[in-house]
Amino acid sequence: MYDISKHKIKAEPLILGIESSCDETACAVIMGRKIIADKIISSASEQALYGGVVPEIASRAHTDAVDEVVADALKEAGVRPNEIDAVAVTYGAGLLGALLVGLSFAKSFAHALGIPLIAVNHIRGHMAAAYLDKPDLKPPFITLLASGGHTAILHTKTELEAEVLASTTDDAAGEAFDKVARVLGLPYPGGPNVQRLAESGTADVEFPSALARHGGGSTFSYSGLKTAVINYIHTAEQRGQAVNRANVAASFQRAAIDPLVKKTVELALNTGASTVTAGGGVIANGYLRDSLKKECLSAGLELVLPEKRYCTDNAAMIASEGLNQYLAGNFAPLSINAKAQIPLK
Ligand code: KG4
Ligand code: ZN
């Protein structure tokens, strides 16, 4: 009988994290906030052949990789399965078939060892990456979240609670990077390729800012920006004019990122928070990182910026959010199901 009601909460538990929401099968082991193993097997190169993530290919790749990635992480950590105190796993949001692979594995692992299962919201995982960078980080702070599915600025009030101060009304920032990559003829994954192209260009085109004019100045809109880039390229093509793709990439990147950085600093100053953190794949963008560092420094704000590999999908961030839930005793029943969507409250 699986009964974790008598589990004694430890201050510095060994948590095994598992992530399989998209195209990375990942496993990490953390002790407290210290990462002692971190492994990723990615199907990105296979997905690139199709120009994006094919859900069925992702599910099959996770099935092939999950045993190996967990075994590798345990080996790197030098830890036996029965020394793990809890298993934290992404249960949503993401591709349902992909999520089910990691979730089923985590349930079996928890059940076999009689340890707590912790169900982690992927987005809260991205937000918890900051604790890995600064283990003694304590809320309150302002979090800039920018991934393939979400774009928001949140006021993180406690380890378990955050208020959304600004968000996007349509596309997420990462989604815009991926769509613009496609019209620029760049391969999947779009974001890093747009960044690379932008590095050799000059931002000489005035695209509309991603900060929507309506919504009290705290609403982002990426759909208009994406359409403006598409129209710019099509119009030039129809007129037989050459398009400087690097300049378009640099101009788009500036229009997509400057408002995120500006709004984050503004909201931090308005709320009186002295610390800013960030998470999500777009935070791996070099232009964003440089700009956020510069603006936080000049505003006198402390910036906790996770390493690039902890901004894109990984299991250490899932284990880190798992620790927040573990310390609060928030354990999941084995009957928990995967969820394709979880609203950002
Ligand atoms: O957080 P993430 O790995 O997965 C989701 O939870 O969505 O974010 C993936 C998104 C993709 O849209 C990808 O193009 C974008 O993050 N991304 C970047 C960069 N690296 C990843 N966008 C801009 N510049 C980058 N260097
Ligand atoms: Zn993600």
Mean pLDDT, each 10-residue run in order, the chain (345 residues)? 86 98 97 98 90 93 97 98 98 98 98 97 98 97 96 97 95 96 93 98 95 72 95 95 96 97 96 97 98 98 98 98 97 97 83
List 279's β-bridge partners, or say none. Answer: 145
Ligand 2 mean position, distance from CA 298 (Å): 29
pLDDT one-digit tens code per residue, 293-312: 999 999 999 999 999 999 99
Closest ligand 1 atom to 177 CA: 14
Closest residue by CA, ligand 1 atom 13: 191
Closest residue by CA, ligand 1 atom 14: 191
CA 143 to chain centre: 12
Identify the pLDDT of residue 21: 98
Ligand 1 mean position, distance from CA 276 (Å): 20
Closest ligand 1 atom to 21 CA: 6
Q: Are strands 141-146 and 151-158 parallel, antiparallel or unpaired?
A: antiparallel
CA 172 to chain centre: 12
Ligand 1 pocket test, candidate residues 147, 188, 310, 341, most atoms within 8 A of CB = 147
Residue with tokens 């690139």: 48
Q: What is the pTM of this model?
A: 0.97
Ligand 1 mean position, distance from CA 177 (Å): 8
Closest residue by CA, ligand 1 atom 22: 191
pLDDT one-digit tens code per residue, 97-120: 999 999 999 999 999 999 999 999
Residue 229 is which amino acid? Answer: V
Distances, alpha carbon 44 to alpha carbons 73, 177, 191, 195, in Å: 20, 16, 13, 18
DSSP structure string for 321-332: HHHHHHHTT-PP
Ligand 1 mean position, distance from CA 71 (Å): 27
Identify the pLDDT of residue 215: 54
Ligand 2 mean position, distance from CA 262 (Å): 23
Identify the pLDDT of residue 106: 98
- CA-based nearest residue to 222, from 173, 187, 291, 271: 173
CA 97 to chain centre: 19
Residue 30 is which amino acid? Answer: I
- CA-based nearest residue to 321, from 126, 179, 187: 126
Q: Give the sheet arrangement for strand 141-146, strand by strand.
A: 219-220, 161-168, 151-158, 141-146, 275-279, 302-304
Identify the pLDDT of residue 214: 60
Residue with tokens 């990147």: 253
CA 283 to chain centre: 8
Ligand 1 pocket test, candidate residues 177, 307, 310, 311, most atoms within 8 A of CB = 177
CA dist 18 and 29 (Å) reads: 9
List 130's β-bridge partners, or say none. Answer: none
pLDDT one-digit tens code per residue, 9-58: 999 999 999 999 999 999 999 999 999 999 999 998 898 888 889 999 99
Identify the pLDDT of residue 5: 86
- CA-based nearest residue to 344, from 103, 210, 142, 149: 149
Length of the chain: 345
Ligand 2 mean position, distance from CA 155 (Å): 19
The binding-site residues of ligand 1, defined as CB within 6 angstroms of any ligand atom, are 22, 126, 147-149, 174-175, 177-178, 189-192, 195, 280-282, 284-285, 312-313
Structure tokens at 318: 């899932």
